[in-house]
């Protein structure tokens, strides 16, 4: 998992530079770009070995596929509209949209807004059993407090923003162990299931100058990129050990904050969460990876 070791310092430089607004950091990052690129290329040249047989079988979905969704607000559908209940769930959550579009049986969506990896382990595993065929999971963001970071940074609360981001960057180093515990527990509770881990879409559009400059947007995007890379590497490590698990990235490029038709809520208690259109994109990515049900 060498790629994560190299990526985290790069993300930290971008994020700290964004918050501090220091031109010297920007110059240093630019002048050292070729060196960083060589370092990342070297790390990626020796990836985690994968088994000869792909542990994530390419079997088709069927109308009898039993599907369970786990995770945080991104799996619960917060921001999708008509949210209800303690877990702030929406019928427009990507598990519901995906199950309907794919034609499979969503046994339950056990996700809950605000859930951390510890919460998932304590409360969300009971629906899993040996009859479960498919599990999706979106978790890790609340361990780092990404939603709070986004809200405070966007609101101009510089001190909380800086402190929370610093804490999140340090937690990136302990998150892999937490994710390992989650994925291992899921595999044990649902021994016959394939596990699909979804990433977090960037909140700010990559084409927006403020998202690529050293500002709040860049800091938030940098934190999200770091989170996604840690999750992806954790999945790769499990897969290399034979677990039937895969990572699905979700791209809101062209529809992030700062575009004409953002797929991200920007106001209210659902701010910085996908809209119903954003959750449809999550569903589309899952269908691209898994297909739709066949009889």
> Would you list the DSSP string of 19-86?
HHT-HHHHHHHHHTHHHHHHHHHHHHTSPPP--SS-SS--PPPBTT-EEEEEESHHHHTTTSSS-BTT
273 counts as catalytic = yes
Phi/psi at 258 (nearest 5 deg)?
105, 0
Look at residue 243 in the predicted model and tell me its pLDDT: 97
3 state DSSP class of 253: coil
Look at residue 134 and tell me whether its pLDDT is greater than 50: yes
Q: Residues 12-46: pLDDT tens digits?
A: 544 545 455 433 322 233 333 333 333 333 334 44
* For residues 166-178, average pLDDT: 88
47 or 170, which is more confident?
A: 170
Instruction: Please write the tens of the pLDDT for every residue from 67-124.
Output: 999 999 999 999 999 999 999 999 999 999 999 999 999 999 999 999 999 999 999 9
pTM more than 0.75: yes
- Choose, from 90, 255, 273, 283, the residue flagged as catalytic: 273
Give 213 or 205, the one with higher predicted confidence.
205
pLDDT band at 7 (very low <50, low <70, confident <90, very high): low
Q: And the tokens for 235? A: 């999945």
Given the candidates 1.10.3720.10, 3.30.450.80, 3.10.20.340, 3.40.50.1110, the CATH classification of the domain at 2-46+57-290 is 3.40.50.1110
According to the model, what pLDDT value does residue 197 have?
98
Whether the pLDDT of residue 49 is over 70: the answer is no
- Report the mean per-residue pLDDT for the chain: 84
For residue 141, what pLDDT band results from cuts at 50, 70 and 90?
Answer: very high
Q: How confident is the model at residue 153 (pLDDT cuts 50, 70, 90)?
A: confident
Q: Is the pLDDT of residue 133 over 70?
A: yes
pLDDT of residue 25: 27
C-alpha distances in angstroms, 282 versus 28, 69, 132, 168? 36, 13, 21, 25
- Give the pLDDT score at 11: 54
Domain parsing of the chain, residue ranges: 2-46+57-290
**What pLDDT does residue 48 have?**
54
For the ranges 1-5, 19-23, 206-210, 240-244, the lowest mean pLDDT is seen at 19-23
Return the SS3 of 137.
Answer: strand
Alpha carbon distance 56, 177 (integer Å): 21
Residue 255 catalytic?
no
Residue 116: strand, helix, or coil: coil
215 vs 131, residue with greater confidence = 131
């Amino acid at each position: 998992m060498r790629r994560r070791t190299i990526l985290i310092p790069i993300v930290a430089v971008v994020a700290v530079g964004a918050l501090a607004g220091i031109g010297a950091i920007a110059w240093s990052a630019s002048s050292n770009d070729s060196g960083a690129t060589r370092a990342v290329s070297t790390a990626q040249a020796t990836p985690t070995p994968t088994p000869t047989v792909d542990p994530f079988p390419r079997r088709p979905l069927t109308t009898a596929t039993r599907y369970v969704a786990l995770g945080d607000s991104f799996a619960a559908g917060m921001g999708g509209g008509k949210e209800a209940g303690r877990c702030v769930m929406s019928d427009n959550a990507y598990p519901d949209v995906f199950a309907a579009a794919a034609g499979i049986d969503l046994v339950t969506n056990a996700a809950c807004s605000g859930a951390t990896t510890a919460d998932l382990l304590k409360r969300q595993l009971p629906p899993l059993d040996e009859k479960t065929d498919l599990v999706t999971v979106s978790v890790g963001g609340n361990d780092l407090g990404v939603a709070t970071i986004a809200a405070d940074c966007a609101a101009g609360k510089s001190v909380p923003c800086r402190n929370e981001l610093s804490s999140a960057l340090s937690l990136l180093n302990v998150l892999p162990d937490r994710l390992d515990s989650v994925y291992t527990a899921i595999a044990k509770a649902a021994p016959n299931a394939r596990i699909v881990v979804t990433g977090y879409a960037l909140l700010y559009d990559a084409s927006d100058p403020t998202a690529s400059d050293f500002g709040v947007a860049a800091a938030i995007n940098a934190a999200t990129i770091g989170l996604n890379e840690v999750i992806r590497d954790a999945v790769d490590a499990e897969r290399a050990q034979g677990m039937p698990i895969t990572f699905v990235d979700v791209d809101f490029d062209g529809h992030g904050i700062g575009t004409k038709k953002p797929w991200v809520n920007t106001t209210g208690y659902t701010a910085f969460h996908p809209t119903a259109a954003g959750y449809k994109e999550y569903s589309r990515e899952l269908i691209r990876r898994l297909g739709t049900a066949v009889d």
